[in-house]
Structure 1
Amino acid sequence: MTLVPAALRPLLRNRAVVFGMIVLAIVVLAAIFAPLLAPYAPNRLSIVNKLKPPSAAHLFGTDEFGRDIFSRAIFAGRISLLVSLGVVALSTVLGLILGVLAGYFRRLDAPISRLIDAMMSFPDILLAIALVAALGPSVVTVIIALGITYAPRLARIVRGSTLVLREMPYIEAAITLGLPTWQVIGRHLLLNLASPILVQATFVFASAMLAEASLSFLGVGVSTDMPTWGTMLASGREYMSNAPWLMIFPGLAIVFSVLSLQLLGDGLRDLVDPRLSKEH
């Protein structure tokens, strides 16, 4: 008897997806065990060692304050993953509420759809900056701002799926039998919405990770006291010519993390709806 469920075997046969899963696992494990893996405290200053190139003592080199880039990079992964998970959770809840209300209750479809269209008409990063500026920079406000920003994406997916599911015979039968609305939604709708939500959540996760780095790079993200990949890139701009490692390693962390999530999302999408893979 194999340890891998039959439904997941096609996913594991895709080399790109396996690569993405391995990279994501490395990032997650490094963030979880950062205190054990980091050779130095992330904010430990050592002016005599400032701008040292990568070496055995400092695997990724040091920054302008002598702080170890490797230690700061793996601790920054914690912030990035925390923010991204919070954004996925918040946007999923908001997207589910708006999407189910719009798709199931016909009278609410038009106003909610107009609200979703209005929110999606703004560029994601501009809307996030406006919300963070209004709420103030912190981890919580970044999660709230990005959660609100990405909720319309999920809401649109949920609304479309709900419109289709509402016309299915078993939903109509449940309504005809007089089951309470909350029971129809909870027992029949939400279970069938799990697959498209899971796929979309992986793409939101990647977008949120990139957006958090962008906000931190612009100085409107989390507190500058916390190491993040975005703030590391921002501080490394001034030393790009003589100390390129200040930007190379945080940049690679962002690239590989986002790429792994995109590859995983593509694999899940093809698994959920194989027809999409044939169109590529």
Structure 2
Amino acid sequence: MTTLDTPTFAPRPSLLKRTMQRKTMVIGIAVLAVFVLAGALAPWITPFSPSRLSVANRLLAPSGVHWFGTDDFGRDVFTRVVYSARTSLFVGFAVVVFSALVGVTLGLLAGFFRRLDPPISRLLDAMMSFPDILLAISLVAALGPTLVNVIVALGIVYAPRLARIVRASTLVIRELPYVEAARAIGVSTPHIMVMHVLRNITSPILVQGTFIFASAILAEAGLSFLGVGVSPDVPTWGTMISLGRQYMDQAWWIMLFPGLAVVIAVLSLQLVGDGLRDLLDPRFSKDL
């Protein structure tokens, strides 16, 4: 009597193991963690105050005392770069939260309710027809150059990106059999939207959120550089670059180090976002 061999399937690796297999994503997470920790522990790891003026030490080149040199007011550039991580990362995270609240809500309403789709879609198209930076400048100019207004303006600018993604996914999910079954047994519409639709589109929302995070940091730096962002009294990477441009020939370090911080932070977020896309969406998964 012959026996049939049943195929054995290896268990799927855990999420942590699959994450560790993506080296670029791990590097991005590690670099981002360094920025977060540096901003959180700024008072304990920086030797000077970010607002301490010392005219006698103005425009000093990088040295053992002032690692990144000093600016035109004698302030330590390394200290200001570290403190700026607090503001820049907070702005990026707050923009992601605000744009997610607005974009996910509009996308769910447009995708689930047919009568709301045309007006919401036209609104999103109108907002996306403007370049991001021009729309952000207009909103900040209208609201005023404060930290909260910058967050609100950038959140409005990036909300349509999430809304379009959520709308497209909702249009597909609302026609699936399990959604029709939930309607047939009398499940409420809000419960269906949250538990059956929103839960199934969290992956693209998370991925897009990391890209919005990176874009918001760049946009905040651009607004501050143009003088329409956060107040110059608040240390941010953009304001440091803006204040250092007039000394670019004789004190290149004032612009170089905050510029490098922006580039490295944005690149790490892009690596994390690309890794999340490959990790959460099987259509983009790569052979390891």
TM range (shorter): over 0.9
1:84, 1:243 → 2: CA distance?
29
TM-superposition CA deviations, 1:192-241 (whole Å, max 9, x none): 12111111100000000110010000000011111110011011111111
The within-5 A match list for 1:149-228 is 149-228=157-236
1:68, 1:199 → 2: CA distance?
36
Pair 1:268-2:276 in alignment: yes
Specify the code of the residue in structure 2 equivalent to 1:63: D
Pair 1:245-2:265 in alignment: no
Give the match for residue 47 of structure 1. 55
Q: TM-score scaled by structure 1?
A: 0.96
Q: TM-score scaled by structure 2?
A: 0.93
Where does structure 2 lack aligned partners over 5 or more consecutive residues?
1-12
- The alpha-carbon deviation at position 10 of structure 1 amounts to 2.3
Partner of 1:71, secondary structure, is helix
Where does structure 1 lack aligned partners over 5 or more consecutive residues?
none
Alignment: residue pair count: 275
Give the match for residue 132 of structure 1. 140
1:155, 1:93 → 2: CA distance?
10
1:278, 1:119 → 2: CA distance?
35
Regions of 4+ moved over 3 Å: none
Identity rate, percent: 62
- The alpha-carbon deviation at position 13 of structure 1 amounts to 1.2
Pair 1:37-2:45 in alignment: yes
1:234 maps to which of 230, 234, 242: 242
Partner of 1:56, secondary structure, is coil
- The alpha-carbon deviation at position 90 of structure 1 amounts to 0.5
Partner of 2:277, secondary structure, is helix
Structure exhibiting the larger radius of gyration computed from Cα positions? 2
- The alpha-carbon deviation at position 277 of structure 1 amounts to 4.5
Give the match for residue 8 of structure 1. 16
Give the match for residue 73 of structure 1. 81
Specify the code of the residue in structure 2 equivalent to 1:75: Y
- The alpha-carbon deviation at position 275 of structure 1 amounts to 2.3
Specify the code of the residue in structure 1 equivalent to 2:188: P
1:138, 1:183 → 2: CA distance?
38
Give the match for residue 31 of structure 2. 23
1:269, 1:227 → 2: CA distance?
33
Partner of 1:134, secondary structure, is helix
- The alpha-carbon deviation at position 55 of structure 1 amounts to 0.8
TM-superposition CA deviations, 1:111-157 (whole Å, max 9, x none): 11111111011000000000000000011000000000000000001
Give the match for residue 108 of structure 1. 116
Specify the code of the residue in structure 1 equivalent to 2:138: A
